A and B are shown apart, each in its own frame.
Chain A
Amino acid sequence: MSWKKAAIAILIPAIGIHLFLLFQTPRLVMGQVFDRLQADGFQKYHFRSSEPATPDNQPVVRPSPDLAYALCWFDLSEGPVEIRGGMWDGYGSLAVFNANTDVVFFTSLTRADAESGGVVLAHTGDSANVMSTQIRQTELPVVLLDAPMGVALIRRLAPTNTLFAAARRVGQNDVCTQLDG
């Protein structure tokens, strides 16, 4: 065997697997997130509030004991979704992540910032329906996603037990619901 053939036999699979894993890692990581959510009984289109992050409760790496989280996951192939977070006096935010781990939408939930506090998400293939009456009535910005699946994550700064309980009460006003396309 010539050294050229040996080099090709090594380099082509090396480069191939390297590039495949490099570009697919974000999607693979999010795939594990979706699998974990389903295995843990997280329903779609429903914000679920977390328990305080403690040594006995840490479903993700580097959980923050300072924050009250709420998470909702969705599949836009089933239609557009309205996502809205209840306003919070302290630091609060709503972020939407697509299946590639990218932040596709972000808004403040801090009352003083007076931002929209929500968004309507739709699949790119649904663009013809995003001006439906129901969607217009939300008066929220509309964001189109190429990939249908994603998660919405709400954070509220709540470093004490009292604030954490208050954040959970506010979280009862969080909305993650399907809309008519």
Chain B
Amino acid sequence: MKAALIYLLLVVGGLFLGVATLPVGALLVENISVEGWRSNWSIGLKQTNPYTRAYVSVFGLLGLPKSEAVYFTRGYDDDGELLHGDCVYEMTGTAQAGQWWSITLYDRWGYLPINNGQALSVDATGLGNSPDTSWRTVISDKRPDDGAVWLSADAVDNFELTLRIYKPSAALLADPKQAFNPPSLKRKSCTGE
């Protein structure tokens, strides 16, 4: 009886071990990282690596293949600190290597924050995408007084930004580290500082 109980505990422990090691497989997923912006070129493609397939099914479900759109996410500022709704950030950038782009703010779970600022996304329509494009936005919980383009971080603690580039250029797909123009994200202040 005692031996059976021990075996049962070992088996249960094994099951937990098997489940707990699944996230470790995320290390096998080939992510692209350029100055804090991360992407996965496997979204929307049938992959042979089972870890990549599982990862994409959870984090990139029904996503477009890279020939149609690429998605970069960022959860840290230029100093490597987690993005937080209690802080004010200045995000600057230029044109993107594609036909159109947008940057959307999500909470840590991947959902739009529950606020009514109607300022959860900025895009090429408003900020431009010509070769001489240079843009600036402010990310904060309140609309900036200087009239700057605003991304609302109201009612959110840690958040992430997702940059979508539709119809990415061949150069971007071939060599993202060279062709991607990563927006900069500088923390200006935080509540309590």
Contact = CB atoms under 8 A, between A and B. Distances in A.
Interface stretch (B31-39, B47-55, B135-143, B181-189): B47-55
A112 to B, nearest CB: 11
Contacts, number: 127
Nearest to B12: A13
Contact of B21 (A14, A63, A65, A151): A14
A64 B14 contact: no
A58 B112 contact: yes
B148 interface: no
A66 B121 CA distance: 8
A17 B19 contact: yes
Interface string B14-48: 11011101100100000000000000000011100
Contacts of B7: 1, 9
Contacts of A9: 7, 10-11, 14
Contacts of B44: 95, 103
A22 B23 CA distance: 10
B166 interface: yes
B104 to A, nearest CB: 6
Interface stretch (B58-66, B74-82, B83-91, B172-180): B58-66
B14 A103 contact: no
A60 interface: yes
B51 A22 contact: yes
B41 to A, nearest CB: 14
A154 to B, nearest CB: 11
Contacts of B157: none
A26 interface: yes
Contacts of B106: 62
B61 A60 contact: yes
B129 interface: no
What is the predominant secondary structure among interface residues of chain A facing chain B?
A: mixed
A160 interface: yes
A39 interface: no
Nearest to B6: A1
Given A9-B10, A58-B111, A91-B100, A21 B125 contact: no
A29 B55 CA distance: 11
A104 B110 CA distance: 26
Interface string A81-95: 000000000010101
Contacts of B58: 25, 29
A13 B14 contact: yes
A93 B68 contact: yes
A152 B22 CA distance: 30
Given A21-B22, A64-B164, 10 more contacts: A9-B11, A15-B18, A22-B50, A26-B54, A58-B112, A61-B110, A65-B112, A97-B62, A106-B65, A159-B102
List the 9 closest pairs (A to B, CB-CB), nearest first. Answer: A17-B18, A13-B14, A18-B18, A14-B18, A9-B10, A61-B110, A26-B57, A10-B14, A14-B14
7 contacts: A21-B19, A25-B54, A55-B115, A58-B111, A62-B162, A97-B62, A106-B65
Interface of A: 1, 6, 9-18, 21-23, 25-26, 29-30, 33, 53-56, 58, 60-66, 91, 93, 95, 97, 101-103, 106, 151, 153, 155, 157, 159-160
Interface of B: 3, 6-7, 10-11, 13-15, 17-19, 21-22, 25, 44-46, 50-51, 53-54, 56-58, 61-62, 64-65, 68, 99-100, 102, 104, 106, 109-116, 120-121, 123, 125, 162, 164, 166-167
